[in-house]
Structure formats: C-alpha cells, structure tokens
Amino acid sequence: MLRTSTRAEVAAVSTPRTPWLVRVRHVSPFVLATAALVAAVLIGVTQGTTAIPLWTTVAMLLDRLPFVALPVDAPESWSRILFDVRLPRVAAAGLVGAALSYSGTAYQGVFRNPLADPFLLGVASGAGLGASIAIVSPLPIDSYGFAWVPLFAFGGACLAVTLVYALSRTGNLADNATLLLAGIALSAVASAITSFLLLTGGPNTYPIFSFLFGGFNTASWPRLLVALPYIAAGAVAVLVQARALNVLQLDEEQAAHLGVDVRRTRLLVLAGASVIAAAAVAVAGIIGFVGLIVPHAVRMLVGNDYRRLLPLTAILGATFVILVDLAARRVLAPQEVPVGIVTQILGAPFFLYLLRRGRSAGSL
Amino acid sequence: MTELAPPLLEVHDLLVEMAGRVLLHDVSLSLHAGELVGVIGPNGAGKTTLMRAITGRVTHSGTISLDGAPLEAMRGRERARSIAVVEQLPEAPPTMHVSELAMLGRFPHLGLLGRETSRDVAITRDAMTRAGCLDLAERLIGTLSGGERRRAFIARALAQEPRLLLLDEPTAALDASAQGEVFEVIRTLADDGAGVLVVVHDLSLAAAWCDRLLLLHEGGVVASGAPREVITAEHLALVYGPFVSLLSHPDTGKPLVVPSGLDARVRVDAHP
C-alpha cells in the first residue's frame, strides 16, 4: 500500500511538466479570462429591478451590432434601461476594474513590491483630491468642461506618486514597508484636504461624495468616453515596457547590465500607471484594493511574465469589478452599497494576509 | 589564443575617483578571448570598482575598449550583447523559474515588443546546459542551493551570448565542492573561447583555475601575470600582511595560500 503510493509520487515528480520554454505561446488563459468577462457582462446587464429575460437581452445587444438585425420583441423602456442605465454601468465597472488592476500590476513591477496598489500608494487619494479641487473650483464642470476633472485627477495622482516615490527613496527602494507607510501618510493628508473641501465647498460638492465612496451609480457614456483615451494611452506606455518590467524583477544593477534603461522604464511606467489610475478615479472615485487582489490572483495563475500578466489582469480585473458591483447592487436591494466599500471590506483582510505571508517569507 | 590577436578587453590607465577619493589608479589590463583572468586583492582594493568601471556603472578616466572599440560609445543594450555580468549577490524573485531567469538574458537581443523565437529558446537551453543547470530548468529560484543559484545566474549571463563575461566573486559563501563546480563551468567557458574576468577572494582558488591574475592593492596594480609570478611571498607580505603563508601544491605546483597564525610572525621576526 505504502509502496504503491510512494511509487506514484515518484512517478509524478519525475514526469516532467511541460517546460516553461515550451509554454511560452500558451494562450488558453486569455480564452478562459475572456469567457469569464463575457459571462460577467451578461450577468451584469440582466440583473436589476426590472426583470428582462437573458435571451431578450442578448438579442437586444446583438441587434445593435453592425450587420446584425434581429427581430426583438421588447418594450421601448427595456431598451432604455439596457442601453442607458445597465450597459454604461457595467462598462464603467469593467473599465475601472481593468484600469485599477492594470495600474496595480504596473506599480508592483516598477516598485518591485507585491503590495503596491493605486489605493495603498496614495495615488487614488491624490487623484480624488485633484478631482475635488476641480469640482469646487470655479472651472466649469458640466458638458465640455467635464474634462477638467480627469485632468486635475491626473495631476493629483502624479503629485502623489512623485511624493511617495521621493519619500520611500530616502530609505532603500527595496524597503516595502517605507513605500507603504509613505503612501498611507500621503493618503491621510489628501483625504483630510478632500474632507475639508467637502465641508467648505458650498452647494456643488455632491460629486465629491461619490469620489470618496467610489461607485458606478452615476456612470454615463460621456464620462466613460472622456476617460477612455487616458486609459488607452497609459496602457500602451506600460505595455511597451513589459519586457523591461520582466527584467526589473531582478535587481536594478542586473537590469542595467542587461541593457534596461532603468530610469526611463521607471518614468514611463509610473506615468502610464498614474494616468490610468487617475482616469479610473475620475470615472468612479476611490475603489481600493482591486489593484492588489486581481494582480495577485493572476500571478498565481500565469506567473510573472508581464507581457501576459498585464493584459490578463485587465480582463480579469474588469470581470472582478463587474461582479463586485453586481453584489453591491443586489445584496441590500433596492438600496445600493457603494462599490468602494465592498472592495475595502474584501481587500483589507486580503492585504493583511499578504502582509503576514510576506513577513514570514522575509520579503518585508 | 595567439599573442598576435588584438586583446578582447583592453583597459589602459584607468582612474576612478568618487567623492574626492581615488578608488582606482593607473590600472591597465588586457584580456584575450579564451583567457580566464582573476582579479585578486584584499577588501577595498578596488576589485568590484574595476568591474563596475568596465560595465560603465562608474565614471572614470582612461580608456576601456572591447575589440579595439571604446566601450564608452556603446549604449545599454548594445553593451549587454557583448558583455555579461554576474554580480556578487544577484537577486531574483524566489517564485521565478530557473528557465525564466535564463531567458531574461535574451533581453538585449530582442526588440521592445519582440517575442522569443525558437532560436532564443535554443540559445537559452544551450546556456543552461553550459552552466550546468538544465536539469534545474523547472525549479524555482527560492528552492536552489547556493551553488545551483550561482549557476542559474551564470546561465542568464550566457544567454546574452557575450564575448566577455565578468563575474564578481562567483564562489562567495559556497562550500568547497560547489566552488569547484562553479569554477569548472567558468574554466570551460573560457576554453570554449569566451573572455572571462573574475573577481576572486580565495587566492588558492584563483591560482588553481585562472590563466593570469591581477593583484590589486589600495586601488593600484601590485602585480599581474601568471599565478606563480603574482602570488609570491613578497607580494603577500606587502598586501595581506604577516598572517598568511605561501605553500606549493604537492601535485600541481600551483601556489597555495594558507593562514599561518601568530607562530609564523614569531618565526619571521626571529629570522629576518
């Protein structure tokens, strides 16, 4: 009995797994992730106070595609609910989830710190403060003037990441704790100023509330379309550096010896990740820990190759936030829980778990 | 190796100053393809600084050229295609596979968005074979022993297909058998035609494996040449002081440097 099981173990150990070098072009995780995303979108658009059957929903969606015409038997109000309420909301959740996860992955790569995340680094609070300043300032907010908010959010995000970087630089860059403490301190300051603006800003401060709590209840197509180019540009800037990020997993000296321009890579990735995080905050406010949870899970699934990691975290980040938003809508229905609160309740214990594990592994 | 061939690496009148201190002065060195040259000297002699100067990590005056072309003119990736470096204590995430680490050596050969081709895979596998770590390909860095770890980083360096390989104390903190295994790998690389410059702390180890040695002391060259010409009683006394003795290996006749304790000093003092 014992002999048999021992032999089975030896056989299992000595049977070589597909070597990594052969698995380089393996694509199935992308297929699986995309399937998960499609499923999440479909669940997201069918759930709501008005019951619209799944197949009617699918038919209505397909009917909107070019060159597709389906006979859809649905009242006009269903169409408005689907296309003006549910779809922008699901799209906003997906875009923000993808953006936060992607920028979290990028920050983790550039800081060589598995706990870096737009929320913990203070980038989200900085962007929130920037957006709040734009909201209380005399700058026009409505219509075309809306573009000021993401711009100020980006300014706040960049200022925050620069400060955090400079503060953590006084110690050793590899010192994970210093980076996080700098982020927390900065977050506290930014949140305090945001609260001050909220109290003194007069009648038009309601949008600041939605920034603080983070959520998609105000999602609309124009708001998404304003953020999209920022996110796309930032994503490209980071993706171009994916191979350099792979090399930066080694120490800085080795990266330089391998021909990586460390300063340039760092600058491009930090700027790209900050643009993305700021745009996400401009759409949905401060939603914490998404950039920590999703990249961590994806790393466990596919390893640390940033060329695969970055796109996959985007797809699965979108899936994750769509599902969390669904939960936020449905758990206390008809009352909604802001998504930011849900992710913080989920994320904080996860963060503590990573922190404990990192300490026992000696990486903190 | 013919004496007529131009040297692969030529360092001439190197001077490195940092914060007003002279770290290296008047250092000249030439290294041919196929040669294994050891840089020896006590702590603070400038061994690592010499490595850093050659890799362009510290500013210096004097000339450093590779195949007759000045190294200053080469930028990051171009330099990385010719020179590979294994630092003293290189870092890699403990969850990275050895094969992934080795594949990172292909970075300077690929475009920014380039994908590894089957040729890159073949070169990486060859690098792992030569570094003696192909059987470790699927192991995680965090699970390796000191010697295995060192060979994994050598594989990463070899995947760069360098003409010149620089190693900074590749045997530090290794036991005697792992030291021998690492040097066997390095020796074979040189015999196969690479130029190898290696910083070594252990003088006997350096004498046993290197073709030539460069002895540094307080930033200057004390001696350079064959191990038996460099490791002499006078040089040892000058650089390392009284607590070491020079023996000759009973089989190979190569220099052996052993600690001598207080007795030796008493003997030297008694019979000047």
pLDDT confidence bin for A146, thresholds 50/70/90 = low
Residue B204: inside a domain, yes or no? no
Residue A244 pLDDT exceeds 90? yes
Contact between A249 and B87 using a beta-carbon 8 Å cutoff: no
Contact between B100 and A20 using a beta-carbon 8 Å cutoff: yes
Residue B261: inside a domain, yes or no? no
pLDDT score, position A224: 86
Q: Over range B120-129, report the average pLDDT.
A: 93
Of B57, B108, B138, which is closest to A259 when you measure between CB atoms?
Answer: B108
pLDDT score, position A8: 36
pLDDT score, position B244: 86
The bridge status of strand B220-225 relative to strand B212-217 is antiparallel
Contact between B80 and A21 using a beta-carbon 8 Å cutoff: no
Give the phi and the psi of residue A109 in degrees, each rounded to 5.
-70, -45
Q: Over range A261-288, report the average pLDDT.
A: 88
Of A254, A258, A304, which is closest to B95 when you measure between CB atoms?
Answer: A304
Residue B12: inside a domain, yes or no? no
Q: What is the mean pLDDT of chain B?
A: 89
Q: Over range A287-299, report the average pLDDT.
A: 91
B241 or B270: whose pLDDT is higher?
A: B241
Range of the structural domain that residue B156 is part of: 87-162
Gap from B15 CA to chain A (nearest CA, Å): 21
Q: Which residues contact A255 (CB under 8 A, 6 or more apart)?
A: A244, A247, A248, A262
Q: Which residues contact A94 (CB under 8 A, 6 or more apart)?
A: A37, A40, A41, A318, A319, A321, A322
Gap from A47 CA to chain B (nearest CA, Å): 40
Query: What's the structural domain count of chain B?
Result: 1
Q: Considering only CB atoms, which chain A residues are within 8 Å of B107?
A: 243-244, 246-247, 258-260
Q: What is the pLDDT of residues A54-98, one digit of tens each?
A: 888 888 888 888 777 777 777 888 888 888 888 999 999 999 999
Gap from A360 CA to chain B (nearest CA, Å): 14
pLDDT confidence bin for B44, thresholds 50/70/90 = confident
Q: Which residues contact B105 (CB under 8 A, 6 or more apart)?
A: A258, B84, B124, B127, B155, B156, B157, B158, B159, B160
Of A20, A247, A253, which is closest to B104 when you measure between CB atoms?
Answer: A247
* Residue A17 touches chain B, beta carbons under 8 Å: yes
Contact between B138 and A17 using a beta-carbon 8 Å cutoff: yes
Q: What is the pLDDT of residues A186-210, one digit of tens each?
A: 999 998 998 888 888 777 777 777 6
Residue A303 pLDDT exceeds 90? no
| Nearest-angstrom CA–CA distance, A259 and B141 | 22
Contact between A247 and B76 using a beta-carbon 8 Å cutoff: no
Of A17, A240, A259, which is closest to B77 when you measure between CB atoms?
Answer: A259
Q: Which CATH superfamily is domain A87-359 in?
A: ABC transporter involved in vitamin B12 uptake, BtuC (1.10.3470.10)
Q: Considering only CB atoms, which chain B residues are within 8 Å of A311?
A: none
Contact between B85 and A257 using a beta-carbon 8 Å cutoff: yes
pLDDT confidence bin for A12, thresholds 50/70/90 = very low
Task: Give the A window 255-284 contacts with B, CB below 8 Å.
Answer: 256-261
pLDDT score, position A246: 92
* Nearest Cα residue in chain A from B124: A21
Q: Considering only CB atoms, which chain B residues are within 8 Å of A253?
A: 57, 87, 90
Q: Facing residues of B24 across strands?
A: B16
At position B120, the amino acid (one-letter code) is D
Residue ranges of the domains in chain A? Answer: 87-359
Q: Considering only CB atoms, which chain B residues are within 8 Å of A246?
A: 104, 107
Residue A153 pLDDT exceeds 90? no
* Residue A250 touches chain B, beta carbons under 8 Å: yes
Residue A339 pLDDT exceeds 60? yes
Q: Considering only CB atoms, which chain A residues are within 8 Å of B55?
A: 257
* Nearest Cα residue in chain B from A246: B104
pLDDT score, position A56: 85
Cβ burial of B101 (10 Å; 0-12, 13-18, 19+) is buried
Residue A9 pLDDT exceeds 90? no
Residue A332 has what DSSP assignment? T
B174 or A218: whose pLDDT is higher?
A: B174
Q: What is the mean pLDDT of chain A?
A: 81
What percent of chain B is predicted at pLDDT more than 90? 60
Q: What is the pLDDT of residues B13-27, one digit of tens each?
A: 999 998 888 999 999
Q: Which residues contact B21 (CB under 8 A, 6 or more apart)?
A: none
| Residue B180 in tokens | 């021998």
* Residue A20 touches chain B, beta carbons under 8 Å: yes
| Nearest-angstrom CA–CA distance, A275 and B174 | 46
Residue B121 pLDDT exceeds 70? yes
